Each structure stands twice: as structure tokens, then as C-alpha cells.
A and B are shown apart, each in its own frame.
Chain A
Amino acid sequence: MDPSSLNSPELEQFINQEKQKAMVNEMIGKLTAACWDKCITGTPGSKFSSSETTCLTNCAQRYMDMSLLIMKRLQQ
């Protein structure tokens, strides 16, 4: 491949966007797996119970809180 064709601003922007997307995707994927294990304890039903839904939401948000706390703690 002609490397000079890679010197394109659009391509660079595209790759940066995709990097960002990949990070977001990975984060959601990891958290979903972890929170699924914590919150969905029985066999999956045809609908989430409201406590399961709340647990999933809380799980994700507390994970973010925790990440912040860990960062702060390690910066001390």
C-alpha cells in the first residue's frame, strides 16, 4: 500500500473516533459482564424485575464512583 495515502486528515479523525468508540464499547462490555454476575442471580426471566434494573444501573454508577475514588487515593 502507498503509505502517502495514509496521510489524510479524515482518516486520522476517523481512527481517533473509532479509538474512542472502542474504549466506550470495552467499558460497557466489561461492566455489563461484571454487573450481570452481581445483579442477575436467578435464571433469566422474560423481563427484568425492577430490582434487577435498579441493581444494574446502580452497579454501573457505583463502579464509576469507585474508579474516581481509586484515582484520588493513588494520587495522594
Chain B
Amino acid sequence: MDSFSSPSTGASPKFSPDDLMDQLKLQLAQAYAEEFLETVRGKCFEKCITKPGSSLSGSESSCISRCIDRYIEATGIIGRALFQQR
């Protein structure tokens, strides 16, 4: 398929449906990742940084890394509970 051709006419480039789908997939994946990141930031800040000090303590850092792991795990548990239940 000559999706990105048409150099001579100067018309706007034609995208094939396949190009569009690839582009959409990429952007959707980015959007999902960003949203997830934002949620995890909120939840783990709430749990682990209860009293912000002058720097991030070691226990806060390890709490954050456990929190991230547990949040990912929780997402899996919820997904399974909803879609392969009982």
C-alpha cells in the first residue's frame, strides 16, 4: 500500500486505516498508562507520605514501592472478580 506517497500533488498525505490503527493503539496505550500512573501517585502518596518531612525517608520509599506492587495486584484481583466470577 502506498500510504504515505503523493509527493507530487502536494495534497495532504493519505493515511491507510492500518496506519491510523497503529497510531490509535499507541496513543491509547499512552493514555491508559498515564491515567494509571496518576491514580497510583494519588493512592500511594495518601498511604505512604502521611507526614511530609524535609526529604523522602527510607521507609517512605519502601512503602511506595510496596504500594505500587500492591496496587497493580489489586487491579488484577478486581479484574478477575468482575470477569471470571463465581
Contacts and interface: CB of A to CB of B under 8 A. Distances in A.
A32 B74 contact: yes
Given A11-B17, A22-B28, A2 B77 contact: no
Contacts, number: 97
B14 to A, nearest CB: 5
- Interface of chain B, main secondary structure: helix
A66 interface: no
Nearest to B67: A44
Interface in B7-47: 12-17, 20-21, 24, 28, 32, 35-36, 39, 43-44, 47
Contact of A28 (B43, B63, B79, B86): B79
